[in-house]
Amino acid sequence: MNNQAVSSFENVNQSESVAIVGAGICGLCTALALNQKGFRVSLFERDVPPPSGDPDQAFFEWTRRGAAQFRHPHAFLGLMCSVLEEKYPDLLEDFFSAGARKVAFKDMIPPHLSSTYQPEPGDEKIWVLMCRRATMETVLRRYVERIPNIEINNKSYITNLEIQHKDGQNTATGLRITDRQDNNLESVRDFDLIIDATGRSSKFHQWLAAKDIEINEQRDDAEIVYYTRHYKLKQGIDEPSRHQEDPSMGDLGYMKYGVFPGDAGHFALIICLPLAETELRKTIKTGGGFDSVCRTIPGLLPWIGSDKSDATTEPFGIGQIHAVWRDYLDQGQPQILNFFAVGDSHARTNPLYGRGCSTATLHAHILADVLNETRDPFARAIRFSEETTNKIRPIFDASLREDKNGIRKSAELIHGKSQKEKWSFKQWLGKSFGDALGAAAKETITVQRGIAKTVNLLENPGDFLKDPKIRRTVFLYMLRGRRKNQGVQRPRGLERDEMLEHIASLG
């Protein structure tokens, strides 16, 4: 299709009215993607807009009940950063102006490897944008507000989906809207297309079920909870190096931890625990307990020593962490036409991996492309499902495997046995390979680059292992033995029994 034809078709798209429910990062990015294809978009958001002031006001004062993870750490991975560079360079500049920072692949390489680093094609796409979620969302929201063909409605909330049932087919026709100031004031507004971007709090599948439209759902519990506390570096204190001898992010087996630098000297620290670690969970719910646990980890001391930073929040947690996949086709046939779910409303992964914003942006542009290709409702539903399965499902499956591995490892540790005697040769080989891969990633740029591409969603999970050079490197590490490879990976910190003794001493 030539440019003239594309332009003509995009103008035709303006005749279709589109409602996006949810004006978080997913909803805003979906609006941008559709706007680029010529669609007129109405966004509905139940929460109030961000305050008019600076990023600190957005972080501390903005009430965002619709985003449970609003004050937890966020990052835009390489996939999303590439989309911003290609399609919205002026938006990217707005992020930088607000204090966001770019962490490029060369910045991720530790000093002991930096002298051997030689840039390769594609390295320029391996980078992460980091700042507080409140800053990200405020900048994105204000950017979208300036676009004429996008309307944002914060004065009402959606209470149901309007469906027309004809000749055995369900079709979405509009939304039932309730005024925020007067709950008795309801109306129905018709739209040609309805998009659910409300994320983990979505009620659409419940509304559909009430209309006898059952959406097949896969749901798996990650069996973890993680806690966040925010800090700000003291005046005159420089941000610690990302490449100190002891890492600021790591896995002690029974507990994962990590520092997420933000904007203007702010940073967040997370502690992730299995649900079964009841004593540790109880301790880190308090500010004193959280800091005491963190100060047993050498890699965190440069950040949260009493002379380094001040806490700006109390610890707060997020639980009910599930991997969720919803299938809107039944035996290959659409359950409902002119309705689409994007981002977490369709496919939700463990937020600990930081993939949500980036997969949502990918999903938004998949939908925009599909809607621009054809106006046939059946073709749109089937094509969107196919593209979602092809491009989002591999990310979902990889995240789910990581969840299952984490559940298994924590169970083995908590019960005080490794269950080695029950391993088959295939299981032992898999564990040996995983240990070798982790060690090689810390000591070779080649493997580190391959893993970085997977982490940043620049290729399908595990594709880097098709590279003969990487496979050969990992095999050579396997020959060193598991003990040595495990020693390379584990950061310094208390063993589980020592940590339990430490928190018991706190009284």
User: pLDDT tens digits for 12-60?
Assistant: 677 799 999 999 999 999 999 999 999 999 999 988 888 887 778 878 8
- Nearest to residue 257, comparing CAs of 305, 223, 291, 308? 291
pLDDT, mean of residues 76-96: 94
Same domain, 275 and 373: no
Same domain, 356 and 233: no
- Whether residue 170 lies inside any domain: the answer is yes
Let me know the angle formed at the C-alpha of 364 by 178 and 351, rounded to the nearest 5 degrees. 85
Same domain, 82 and 32: no
pLDDT for res 303: 94
Tens of pLDDT, residues 113-169: 888 899 999 999 999 998 888 888 999 999 999 999 999 998 888 999 999 998 889
424, pLDDT greater than 80: no
- Nearest to residue 349, comparing CAs of 251, 226, 222? 222
- Whether residue 141 lies inside any domain: the answer is no
CB atoms within 10 A of CB 403: 22
Same domain, 230 and 312: yes
Q: What are the residues whose beta carbons fall under 8 Å from the beta carbon of 54, sequence distance 6 or more?
A: none
9, pLDDT greater than 50: no
pLDDT, mean of residues 171-188: 89
pLDDT for res 422: 63
Helix (H) or strand (E) holding 351: none
227, pLDDT greater than 90: yes
Distance CA 222, CA 112 (A): 35
Q: What are the residues whose beta carbons fall under 8 Å from the beta carbon of 171, sequence distance 6 or more?
A: 163, 164, 165, 336, 337, 338, 377
4, pLDDT greater than 50: no
Lookup: tokens for 115: 């002298």
Q: Is the dihedral of CA 62, 64, 69, 74 positive or negative?
A: negative
Q: Return contacts of 204-207, CB within 8 angstroms, 24+ apart.
A: 204/21, 204/161, 204/339, 204/341, 204/345, 205/326, 207/160, 207/161
The percent of residues above 70 in pLDDT, for the chain, comes to 95
Same domain, 179 and 255: no
Q: Which of the given ranges, 346-360, 377-391, 397-411, 415-429, has the highest pLDDT on average?
A: 377-391
Residue 268 CA, distance from chain mean position: 16
Q: Is the dihedral of CA 355, 358, 360, 365 positive or negative?
A: negative
Give residue 308's pLDDT band: very low, low, confident or very high (50, 70, 90).
Answer: very high
pLDDT, mean of residues 188-208: 95
- Nearest to residue 280, comparing CAs of 257, 303, 314? 257
- Whether residue 113 lies inside any domain: the answer is yes
- Whether residue 377 lies inside any domain: the answer is yes
Same domain, 314 and 229: yes
pLDDT for res 140: 94
Same domain, 58 and 156: yes
Q: How confident is the prediction for the chain on average, in pLDDT?
A: 89
- Whether residue 335 lies inside any domain: the answer is no
Tens of pLDDT, residues 330-344: 999 999 999 999 999
Exposure on the CB side of residue 391, measured as CA atoms within 13 A: 20
Same domain, 61 and 2: yes
- Whether residue 332 lies inside any domain: the answer is no
Same domain, 156 and 37: yes
Distance CA 178, CA 295 (A): 49
pLDDT, mean of residues 71-87: 90
Same domain, 240 and 277: yes
Same domain, 390 and 466: no
Residue 438 CA, distance from chain mean position: 22
275, pLDDT greater than 90: yes
* Domain count for the chain: 4
96, pLDDT greater than 90: yes
pLDDT for res 507: 74
Same domain, 172 and 277: no
Give residue 418's pLDDT band: very low, low, confident or very high (50, 70, 90).
Answer: low
pLDDT for res 12: 62
Instruction: For residue 118, give its domain range.
Output: 75-131
- Whether residue 180 lies inside any domain: the answer is yes
Q: What is the CATH number of the domain that holds 271?
A: 3.30.70
Q: What are the residues whose beta carbons fall under 8 Å from the beta carbon of 483, sequence distance 6 or more?
A: none
pLDDT for res 3: 41
Give residue 423's pLDDT band: very low, low, confident or very high (50, 70, 90).
Answer: low
Of 284, 318, 352, the last residue of a domain is 318
Of 356, 383, 416, the last residue of a domain is 416
